[in-house]
């Protein structure tokens, strides 16, 4: 695929850690991560809950702001080499100092400084709470987000296990982030069905939904997403790797786009799913025949939906011009 400038809106920092990077840190710290990798050295898990467990186990090696600075450099260099010019990355105060505000500020400063040192790619942070850690921790995370909002931190989001809690439980956290001027996104409609997307829109009032693909099962919701201009951060390779769809051919991205929904393409946790931005694009070209114009449209959608200032958005849109 010759189309090169890409915008990625949905990438988890810990989830983007290459296995070699995690092994190196583990050996430096004398930690044993035997249940994290398979015999070939890849991340191992059986299903979505297993994936979340492996993710959290691998994250144990990230202990200091300097570890996060190293990870940020590694991840951004890889994204840039895939043609990504702008990326929004989920950052987790849960893992960066246990939601303690002064510790969080130190981790964040290290991440921001590292991001500034990588040329050829622009990054913004989306502070993220983790649903299965519960509403109290989400509130503390939202406070961290609100206290550090502006400049580098431009969004607030929620990942984790959709089966835990309801959208209503997280209203306080999202209201707090909204009042701080942050853009809002939440994972929904991945392992939860259409109702999870509807509840997320009604209660958390997000402009973007992480995944949201299960909305395809409900025509009324499809129509609503199109009408309200809700942007879906779709990660096809992630959905296939986690077993939502048997293969990309069965993925609803083409259908959702044809129904008038604003879709974007991201990788989620690329080494966990053996994917990269280039391979996502290649698969969409191969399976659905997407061409340069189609890729330009999804990247323009991403630029318009990005949690960034007007000057950055203008610059991105200019760089996407043919």
Positions marked active-site: 190
Query: Which position has the token pair 């609503």?
Result: 224
Using the rule CB under 6 A, which residue among 59, 87, 185, 238 binds ligand ADE? 238
Residue 41 Cα distances to 11, 21, 37, 233, 271, angstroms: 22, 11, 5, 29, 11
Q: Does 88 bind ligand ADE (CB under 6 A)?
A: no
Is position 159 an interface residue for ligand ADE (rule: CB under 6 A)?
yes
Query: Shortest distance, CB of residue 102 to ligand ADE, whole angstroms?
Result: 26
Contacts of 15 (CB under 8 A, 6+ apart): 55, 90, 268, 269, 270, 271, 272
- Give the integer Cα–Cα distance in Å for 158 and 187: 6
Alpha-carbon span 121 to 87, nearest angstrom: 7
Q: What are phi and psi of 231, to 5 degrees?
A: -95, 130
Is 268 a binding residue for Zn ion by CB under 5 A? The answer is yes
Residue nearest to Zn ion (CB): 268
The residue among 268 and 280 lying less far from Zn ion, judged by its C-beta, is: 268
All residues at 6 or more sequence positions from 124 whose CB lies less than 8 Å from its CB, including other chains:
86, 87, 88, 89, 152, 153, 154, 155, 306, 307, 308
Among 268, 271, 277, 283, binds ligand ADE (CB under 6 A): 268
Query: Environment class of residue 56 by beta-carbon count within 10 Å: exposed (0-12), middle (13-18) or buried (19+)?
Result: middle
Q: Which residue is nearest to ligand ADE (CB)?
A: 159
Selected binder of ligand ADE within 78, 187, 198, 214 (CB under 6 A): 187
Q: Which of 7, 8, 12, 137 binds ligand ADE (CB under 6 A)?
A: 12
Binding site partner of 160, from ligand ADE, Zn ion, none, Cβ cut-off 5-8 A by kind:
ligand ADE
> Of the ranges 74-82, 132-140, 265-273, 304-312, which one interacts with Zn ion (CB under 5 A)?
265-273
Residue pointed to by tokens 């949201």: 212
Question: Is the distance from CB of 137 to CB of 166 less than 8 angstroms?
Answer: no
Q: How many residues bind Zn ion (CB under 5 A)?
A: 1
Shortest gap between Cβ of 37 and Zn ion (angstroms)? 21
Cβ proximity to Zn ion: between 267 and 299 the closer is: 267
Q: How far is the CB of 55 from ligand ADE (least distance, A)?
A: 6
Q: How far is the CB of 268 from Zn ion (least distance, A)?
A: 4
Q: Select the binding partner of residue 190 from ligand ADE, Zn ion, none (C-beta < 5 to 8 A, by kind).
A: ligand ADE
- Should residue 160 be labelled a site residue for ligand ADE when binding is judged by CB under 6 A? yes
The DSSP secondary structure of 112-131, one letter per residue, reads HHHHHHSTT-EEEEEEEEEG
**Could you tell me whether strands 208-211 and 84-91 are parallel, antiparallel, or unpaired per DSSP bridges?**
unpaired
Residues that bind Zn ion in the complex, under the rule CB under 5 A: 268
Residues that bind ligand ADE in the complex, under the rule CB under 6 A: 12, 15, 55, 159-160, 187, 190, 238, 268-269
């Amino acid at each position: 695929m010759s189309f090169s400038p890409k915008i990625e809106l949905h990438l988890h920092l810990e989830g983007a850690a290459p296995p070699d990077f995690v092994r190196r840190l583990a050996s430096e710290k004398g930690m044993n991560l035997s249940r994290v990798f398979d015999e070939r050295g890849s991340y191992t898990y059986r299903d979505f809950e297993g994936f979340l467990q492996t993710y959290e186990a691998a994250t144990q090696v990230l202990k200091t702001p300097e570890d996060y600075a190293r990870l940020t450099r590694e991840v951004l260099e890889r994204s840039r080499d895939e043609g990504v010019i702008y990326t929004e990355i989920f950052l987790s105060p849960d893992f960066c100092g246990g939601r303690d505000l002064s510790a969080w500020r130190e981790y964040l400063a290290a991440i921001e400084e590292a991001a500034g040192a990588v040329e050829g790619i622009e990054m913004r942070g989306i502070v993220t709470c983790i649903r299965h850690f519960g509403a109290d921790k989400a509130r503390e995370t939202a406070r961290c987000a609100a206290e550090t909002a502006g400049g580098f931190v431009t969004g607030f989001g929620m990942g984790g296990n959709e089966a835990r809690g309801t959208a209503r439980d997280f209203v306080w956290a999202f209201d707090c982030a909204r009042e701080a001027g942050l853009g809002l996104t939440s994972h929904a409609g991945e392992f939860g069905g259409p109702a999870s997307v509807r509840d997320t829109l009604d209660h958390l009032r997000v402009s973007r939904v992480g995944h949201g693909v299960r909305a395809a099962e409900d025509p009324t919701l499809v129509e609503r997403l199109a009408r309200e201009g809700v942007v879906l951060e779709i990660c096809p390779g992630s959905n296939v790797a986690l077993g939502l769809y048997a293969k990309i051919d069965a993925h609803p991205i083409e259908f959702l786009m044809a129904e008038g929904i604003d879709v974007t393409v991201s990788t989620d946790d690329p080494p966990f799913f053996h994917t990269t931005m280039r391979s996502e694009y290649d698969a969409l070209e191969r399976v659905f025949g997407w061409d340069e114009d189609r890729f330009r449209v999804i990247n323009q959608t991403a630029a318009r939906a990005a949690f960034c200032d007007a000057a950055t958005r203008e610059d991105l849109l200019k760089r996407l011009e043919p």
